[in-house]
Every structure is written in C-alpha cells, then in structure tokens.
Amino acid sequence: MPEPGDSRRRVTVAHPALPVITPASGEEPPGLYLHIPFCKRRCAYCAFNSHACLVPPAAYLTALASQIRYWGAQDWCRERTFTSLFIGGGTPTIYPGNELAGLVSLCLNSFHFSDDPEITVEANPNTVSLEALSILRRGGVNRLSLGVQSFSDRLLGALGRTHSRTEACTAIDAARKAGFANINLDLMYGLPGQSAPEWRESLDQAIAHEPEHLACYELTIEEGTPFARQVDKGELALPGEEEALAMAELTHAFLAQSGLQRYEISNYARSGQECRHNLNYWRNGSYLGLGAGAVSCLSGFRFGTVQHPDAFVGMVAGGKLPLAEGECLPLEARFRESVVMGLRMLEGVSFTRLQRRFGLTPPGYYGKILEDLQVQGLVVISQDTLRLTETGLLLANQVLAKLV
C-alpha cells in the first residue's frame, strides 16, 4: 500500500503547530539529530547555523535536554526504534566531553534505540583531547566525524579554520587511542589557490591515517558569507570549472585504489562503514532534529525549529515548543524527493521500494524526461533500479534538477 498523501492524511491538531502524525507504510527506522550551533570562530565560507563564542552557554544544553525528554515521550517516537544518533553543528565538541556524554545518555534513556545504534559526534580538531574523546567513547559514541578540511596550513588559513594540520593529525591519533574504530574525515577541494597536486597531497595524508570514512566536498560559495563578498569584489581566486572537475575525477580514481568505496556523490567508506544516519536522509526516511535550526521529517510531516539559539532557549524556558514552520508534503513531492535524494547514492533507487511507499515508479512518473536522460548516458535502468552513470554523477546537479 502506498503511504497516505495529504488528502487522505488524518490531521488532528494535538498542538497548535503540530498535527498527529499517522504512521506510513514501508517506513525505515528513523534517526535522531541534535544540533549544537556554536563554534570558536566562523569560517570564511560557513553558511551553517552556527554562532561564534569561546564558552558555549550552559542554558542551551538545558533547553536541548528538555526537548529530548519532551520528544522521547511523544507517541510517534515511543512507537519507533531509532537506529542512529548524530550530534552535529557547529562544533559539538566546544562543550566538554562529560556534557556531551550526558546528552547521549539522556537520548539513549528517552528514546528506544536498536541494539547497536550508530552514534556520531562531529568535532573540530582543536576542540578535542584524549580525555574528552575517551569520555565520549565510554559514553557510547562509536563514530567520530572530524572536520579536517585540508592538510595544508596555507589553505586552512585561507578558509579561516582555527586549527592546523598538526592539530588535525594529533586529533586523529587521539581518537584512535580513545578507541574509535570508525572515523570520518571531512575534506574540501576547489579551495582558493588550490591546485590538483595539492588536493592529491591532502588525500594522500588523509589515507595515511586509514580512516573508515571520507567525505570530500567541493567548496561552494554561499550567499552572505565573507567568501561571497570577496568573490563579488573579485578578491578571491578560485580554481576554474575544469580544474575543479579534474579534482573531482582525481578523488574518485585515487580513493578507488585505497579501499574506500564511493557510495554517495561525496562520500566514501570501507565496506559496512557507510554512515547509517546519512543513508537514512538519502533514502528519504524519517528523522527527528532537535536544537536551534534543526529540521525534522516525521512520516512526511516536515517542520523546523527556531533558528537562533537564544530564541530556542527562551521558548523552551517559557514552556513553548520552539517550532518554526511545518508542512505536510504531498505524496508526489515526497516521491520526487525520494528519487532526487536517492540518486545521490551509487546504489540508486529501487522501484519496488518506491512502488511500496508511493504507488509510483520513475519510468511511469517521469516518462520522456527519463528516457532522454537515458539516451544521453546520464542515468541507467537495470532491472529494479535507477541510478546515475559515471557521467551522470559528475553532472549530478544538472541531472537531478530535471527530476525535482
């Protein structure tokens, strides 16, 4: 049976901003996300919901804990088994290890989790110590995602990062000593003044640390950032399109030889160590996001949380749900989203799964649009699956724009 669309959804208002959310058929287990919106300093390219501070406010964790308790007691959550917890930011490790471990413990006690949940904490290299990492590991955190971005001090400086190459290496070594057997390193290419050999050098150094997972993103210039202003004034020299494409191709070729399988446009992992939490996003599963600016999608009902941490803290302290806007997504919109996000994964999207969830399949829904993409060699249909080809992956933005 397909999931109910808007017209058939039973929407009974349980809270002024929150309908009763009916279960959907064919739904995968959800993930839980906590947002920590603080960093020591803002990077020059950052468009995330993050605020600079040296000492993060204790009141924020109090409000977050209150939200964890509230949501853990809601029917939608009580009826489900969560398989992943991801604490992201910002820089979660700007808080001491014992406070983050306390949040993890509260989540494990407030929600029902599977026997072996994936529990990730994001960290920046100069905000972790062996002691803090050991506390997190003992507290059940089993995956560490380190924002390394580059192994070049010159490029780290250009990005406005607060850490050095040496601090990144020290943090990785400390994570291993603390017992982390699943480490992701975030890296960026297409940086101001970066050449392909320099990018290869960063990849080389990353691989030397034998990470289980690598996320390699091309720098994008986001509106309102210092980098965007510098671009407008002609003060930022970025690699050209061809050079950036060469770096992308180099990434795939280089990592293919290193035992890290590409499983999403920008993500590579050793077999079995793909990020479970993110796979759930790309499969358009349900997730609950708590904290300032976090977004949730529960059985097709999507809603945000107020952006500013002060507003979040104030509303929670005043006994209000700190929710921003919410919408029930129509069935077709959810189908298209599932196709577009699913095609980011190399496994592509399964017709059987889409048929079960939405009563629709890509060939029947997109018709000629999909046929044209096939003729152009950008997508391939094999048996039950639609996926991007090698060329399609390189031109993913253009291909996916046709299916949105």
Q: Which residues bind ligand SF4 (CB under 6 A)?
A: 39, 42-43, 46, 48, 50, 89-91, 124, 147
H-state helical runs in 160-308? 165-177, 196-208, 226-232, 241-256, 276-282
Would you say 91 or 296 has its CB closer to ligand SF4?
A: 91
CA distance 33 to 84: 8
End-to-end CA distance of the chain: 24
Q: How far is the CB of 121 from ligand SF4 (least distance, A)?
A: 14
Q: Residue 323 is which amino acid? A: L
Q: How far is the CB of 163 from ligand SF4 (least distance, A)?
A: 9
- Is residue 131 within 8 A of residue 97, CB to CB? The reply is yes
What are the start-end ranges of the E strands in 45-164? Answer: 51-52, 82-89, 113-123, 143-149
Would you say 84 or 124 has its CB closer to ligand SF4?
A: 124
Would you say 45 or 76 has its CB closer to ligand SF4?
A: 45
Would you say 90 or 285 has its CB closer to ligand SF4?
A: 90
Q: How far is the CB of 165 from ligand SF4 (least distance, A)?
A: 16
Q: How far is the CB of 42 from ligand SF4 (least distance, A)?
A: 5
CA distance 347 to 231: 36
DSSP states along 242-258: HHHHHHHHHHHHHHHTT
Dihedral pair phi/psi, residue 139, rounded to 5°:
-80, 0
Q: How far is the CB of 124 from ligand SF4 (least distance, A)?
A: 5
Q: How far is the CB of 257 from ligand SF4 (least distance, A)?
A: 29
Would you say 147 or 293 has its CB closer to ligand SF4?
A: 147
Would you say 66 or 230 has its CB closer to ligand SF4?
A: 230
Q: Which residue is nearest to ligand SF4 (CB)?
A: 46
Supply 381's token pair.
């249909």
